[in-house]
Structure 1
Amino acid sequence: METLTEFLVAELRAARVTRDLSQEEFGKLIKYSGSHVSAVETGGRPVTVEYVEAVDRALQTGGFYTRLFKKVTSLELAPVWLHEWIELERQARSIRWYEPSFVPGLLQTEAYARATLLAGGRFAPDQAEKRVASRLDRQAILRAEKPPHFVAVLDEAVLRRTFGGDRAMMAEQLEHLATCAELPDVRILIVPAEVGLYPGLQGGFITLTLQEGTMIAHQDHQVKAQVVNGVHDIATLQETWDDIVGEALPRRQSLDLIKEAVKSWT
């Protein structure tokens, strides 16, 4: 089966061939050697962002191949079963994320993301690094020109749980969380510990509202994640969401609790 990178390379080659250019001629056009073009097209050299930007400039594509490169790179870094969700995430006009255990991936620092993935030894270091890169890449949607409206509700335990006693990492992560909470389209709410048992503690979930109004959800399992779009399931998650938000502190009080937690780690 053709990989996404192989698809990108094929598209770049097609751009050259349809213009009836040899590799040497194409190289002169984009200011690379003909041997470099050949190596990219045969897989001997990796495609780089500099290369595709040169193609876009030379062919005046309006940045088409650079955008394609960034999308392919992002999807290649993520596990296959997550590809569909990443595409839906990019199309969302609003995202609601409840998490009782960890800081949501869209709000994680690099160090925190790495620690969550390495915990328990399920991933080899190289696999973990690819997933860290994927998570960080996905965060760009929160600072896009037209970002989705993002609401995250976290259990207070998320603010108190450390990984291997790394207090500096936790302080950095919660400072980042506080910074994200100040973004105009981001709202972060905390369910305080004194609430005790409440709906939602069985597991986290995410719901997206797409541009046309369709709602879809995502639930994590031990092996992989599940995309949920059944009417009954979505309604159940909406009810659970409303119950959870009802137990959470208001936005400003939640931010104060996050800042207090930062001090507890320093």
Structure 2
Amino acid sequence: MGEQMSTAVVIRAQLRRLRGAAGLNQEEYGRRVHYSPSLISAVELGQATPTLAYLKRADEVLGTGGLFVALRELGRREREPIWFRPWLEAEREAAQLRCHGAMMVPGLLQTADYARAVFRLDTALSPDRVEEMVAARLDRQSILGGDDPAHLTAVIDETALRRFSEGMAELMVGQLRHLLDCARRPHIRVHLLPVGLGLHAGLFGPFILGWSADGDWTGFLDNQIGGTVVDEVEGMATLLRRWESVRSDALSRQQSIDLIEEILKPWT
């Protein structure tokens, strides 16, 4: 049994135990947390994964002091590779994020199907591990929701959106529609680097920058076998210069939305 699974088992066991200790059957408990008894049963049997909203409500009704949300966070961290966890902490604290996606749609803007296809490119990953990583990626995207979301500016190479190869059309249609939905949200800006641009600084590779409320910058570089957190002054200065370069070469927000719609049109 993996680490993520053991955390999930603990959550299920504690949900059952504390509900029972409160003297509530599934029907009564469902009325209090505003979820159906069938969903309560599915969660406790491991047939459904409890959402953050579900666990927040369980914490409130059962008076746990935030136990279930804390356990969920622990499980979410365990699903991520060890080398990625330092960046994950910085990303969750960031008020602003600046992301350059060179040849793929950035993880924060991926659909589940797109993420699954990306992870399946690593043939060493088992199907179960792929699903764990997809769930972790979707959890990671929660920083873009809620009442006080992080502000994201993403620059993406147009070629990343034109991968409509055989068997990929439906997946890419879903991804581009999702990207359009994201690009129209007030706290998310998507800018495309057009195909005809030629050489540009983004060809050095993908990266993401996070700015925290206390004014500190942290960066993250992807590579073929992992990733590297960048927080020293010289490294951050280089990444900020690269960011200014790719952002200045990219299309405007509306031009980018129009181009995504143009790319999508023949496939819908």
Q: TM-score range by the shorter chain?
A: 0.7 to 0.9
Cα RMSD after superposing both structures: 3.1
1:175-207 superposed Cα distances (whole Å, 9 cap, x missing partner): 100000011100000010111111120210000
Q: Distance in 1 between matches of 2:241 and 2:83?
A: 27
Task: Specify the code of the residue in structure 2 equivalent to 1:159.
Answer: L
Question: 4+ residue runs of structure 1 moved beyond 6 angstroms?
Answer: 4-11
Q: Is the 8 A contact 1:55 1:65 kept in 2?
A: yes
Residue 53 of structure 1 deviates from its aligned partner by 5.7
Query: Out of 23, 32, 57, which is 2:61 matched to?
Result: 57
Q: How does 1:93-242 map to 2 (within 5 A)?
A: 93-162=95-164, 165-242=167-244
TM-score of the aligned structures, taking structure 2 as reference length: 0.80
Q: Distance in 2 between matches of 1:6 and 1:173?
A: 32
| Structure 1 segments unaligned to the other structure (5+ residues) | 16-23, 33-44
Residue 141 of structure 1 deviates from its aligned partner by 1.1
TM-score of the aligned structures, taking structure 1 as reference length: 0.80
| Structure 2 segments unaligned to the other structure (5+ residues) | 26-44
1:75-114 superposed Cα distances (whole Å, 9 cap, x missing partner): 1222222222222111100000001111111111111110
Give the direction of change, closer, same or farther, for the CA distance of 1:239–1:124 in structure 2 (3 Å limit): same
Counterpart of 1:75 in structure 2 is 77
Residue correspondences, number: 244
Q: Distance in 1 between matches of 2:71 and 2:244?
A: 39
Q: Distance in 1 between matches of 2:182 and 2:55?
A: 33
Q: Distance in 2 between matches of 1:144 and 1:215?
A: 23
Give the SS at the match of 1:93. strand
Task: Specify the code of the residue in structure 1 equivalent to 2:201.
Answer: P
Task: Specify the code of the residue in structure 2 equivalent to 1:265.
Answer: W
1:136-170 superposed Cα distances (whole Å, 9 cap, x missing partner): 11111111211111000000111112465310110
